[in-house]
Amino acid sequence: MLDQTQVERLEAEAVNSAKTRQPLYAARKKIFPKRASGRFRQFKWLVMAITLGIYYLTPWLRWDRGPFAPDQAVLLDLANRRFYFFFIEIWPQEFYYVAGLLMMAGVGLFLITSTVGRAWCGYTCPQTVWVDLFLVVERAIEGDRNARMKLDAAHWSARKLFLRISKHAIWLVIAVATGGAWIFYFADAPTLLREVATGTAAPVAYVTIAVLTGTTYVFGGLMREQVCTYMCPWPRIQAAMLDENSLTVTYNDWRGEPRSRHAKKAFAAGQSVGDCVDCNACVAVCPMGIDIRDGQQLECITCALCIDACDGVMDKLGRERGLISYATLADYNANMALATAGGTGPVNPALVRTASGSFFDSLAHFHLGKIFRLRTYIYLGAWSAIGLVLVYSLLTRERLELNVLHDRNPQFVTLSDGSIRNGYTVKLLNMIPKPRTIEVTLQGLDGGEMTIVGIDQPPSRSFSIPAEPDRLKILKVFVRQPAGQIKELVQSFEFRIEDKASSESAEYTASFNAPEIGK
């Protein structure tokens, strides 16, 4: 076992200290987070690779939808008002699917936060991911924490200028790639790339790239933690999502206090000494510039890098990991009560350890069963219910729709033979990327027949209409009924459409108006 003095003490001070709050308009103090290593850092690398891979590569995935539809797997086609997602095609009137997905995202965020705290902020938030990416570039060019601090404090020189220009140039390349990747979701990616490179793309493409380049560069490279602290509303909202059984990154001062850099001398003097050696490793790796030992703070995004840093120190000292860990408030309070003799005194490490140095079995420990509680089931049930409704609706939706508008003026016309004619605008919606032949049939309305403008066929009760793939077909239809068959001023009948090949059909109940003399 190493003595505490053999563990390097980092000169790291919390920029956003819970004990001393900075005024809102104070100049920003730069944070130089030290690179961490450990299981949570490895997990963050994995999440960063997956999320960035999805963002940058998705527009280039292909999906064969036949000759009448684009082959880009994910495409928001604003020109034709379509959203394509692999085998799913969403029309404007089906926007409720997007609303449902947004509802699932909101409930899912509540579910994640109530169980494992701000996991979204710490691992998958775009701000976190891009800041991590920018820090990778910064460390590769300028070095780790101490080297970057020295470079920042040094006078301007050719070396410093070269390093800074190199860093910001790569940041700009990343920012441009970020803005460029976004526009590829709205048009065929290979085609749009050629147009952008040759200067023939629409002006909105260049404006979008410029705006997203600027925001990515400023937010990810320059502002960093300030976006999370001052601009993002979620730190204020997430407090309402947490309860005493929510997991969150916690400094377990019931085993860490009192801190000491000289444990042997303290033991010899009969003093109580905790596991924390006050090395400041947790402060040095924090990208938000806080000291987790001050307790829960608004700035903490629960990235868990402080856990990796502290676990590394505990490994060197030969002590149990978990001085900083994911823990629930209920467990923390139970252990604090044990370490302070029910709150009657300061933290005493002897109250949580046996004579051999191991922890008492009475200490509270986290287990997965604590996550599954009523609140979790409610969120999970709501999230699942929304998802099931969307899936059911998606699987049972019709891809052939019919809409009919009756002419308002005139509502009817009396023909020379005494029969009455009504005009209608019939809209046939073929919602698949294949041409179809649609049977339009008149049902009801005794003796009624229809004619369709532009189709050279005699009046009939049924017509075969070719429908273009993935398009709306608008027909001008006139319905005529002999005077002797008219029984009421307003009669109801149905337009029916059917695709014989797929057995899909749709019906619309319309009204036929007649003058009073036609009774």
Residue 84: closest CA among 184, 178, 192, 185: 185
What number is the average pLDDT over the span 390-419?
92
- Chain segment 437-481, per-residue pLDDT in tens: 999 999 999 999 999 999 989 999 999 999 999 999 999 999 999
By the 8 A CB rule, do 276 and 294 touch? Answer: no
Side chain identity, residue 109: L
What number is the average pLDDT over the span 313-321?
91
pLDDT at residue 518, as a whole number: 43
pLDDT at residue 79, as a whole number: 85
Percentage above 90 pLDDT, the chain: 66
384 has a pLDDT exceeding 90: yes
Distance CA 424, CA 477 (A): 5
Distance CA 462, CA 455 (A): 12
Distance CA 65, CA 470 (A): 11
Specify which of 21-35, 266-280, 496-510 reaches the highest per-range mean pLDDT.
496-510
Residue 28's alpha-carbon distances to 24, 230, 231, 242, in angstroms, are 10, 12, 15, 30
pLDDT at residue 355, as a whole number: 79
Give CA 503 to chain center in angstroms: 38
pLDDT at residue 460, as a whole number: 93
Count of CB atoms situated within 10 Å of the CB of 128: 25
SS3 category, 472: strand
395 has a pLDDT exceeding 50: yes
Count of CB atoms situated within 10 Å of the CB of 19: 8
113 has a pLDDT exceeding 50: yes
- Chain segment 156-201, per-residue pLDDT in tens: 999 999 999 999 999 999 999 999 999 999 999 999 999 999 999 9
Distance CA 199, CA 187 (A): 16
Residue 335's alpha-carbon distances to 6, 142, 257, 339, in angstroms, are 29, 43, 13, 6
By the 8 A CB rule, do 226 and 28 touch? Answer: yes
pLDDT at residue 177, as a whole number: 95
The single residue listed with the structure tokens 């019709």 is 398
Q: Which residues pair with 348 in a beta bridge?
A: none
- Chain segment 261-272, per-residue pLDDT in tens: 766 676 666 677
Strands 436-443 and 413-414: unpaired
Burial 284-302 (b: 16+ CB within 10 A, else e): bbbbbbbbbbbebbebbbb
pLDDT at residue 42, as a whole number: 96
- Chain segment 424-433, per-residue pLDDT in tens: 999 999 999 9
193 burial level (CB within 10 Å; 0-12, 13-18, 19+): middle
2 has a pLDDT exceeding 60: no
Count of CB atoms situated within 10 Å of the CB of 157: 10
256 has a pLDDT exceeding 80: yes
- pLDDT-derived band of residue 239, with 50, 70 and 90 as boundaries? confident
pLDDT at residue 196, as a whole number: 95
pLDDT at residue 485, as a whole number: 87
Q: What is the mean pLDDT of the chain?
A: 90
What angle is formed at CA 96 by the lines to CA 91 and CA 102, rounded to 5 degrees?
120
pLDDT at residue 263, as a whole number: 63
pLDDT at residue 501, as a whole number: 87
Distance CA 490, CA 515 (A): 9
486 has a pLDDT exceeding 90: no
456 burial level (CB within 10 Å; 0-12, 13-18, 19+): exposed
pTM metric for this prediction: 0.85
- Chain segment 208-236, per-residue pLDDT in tens: 999 999 999 999 999 999 999 889 988 88
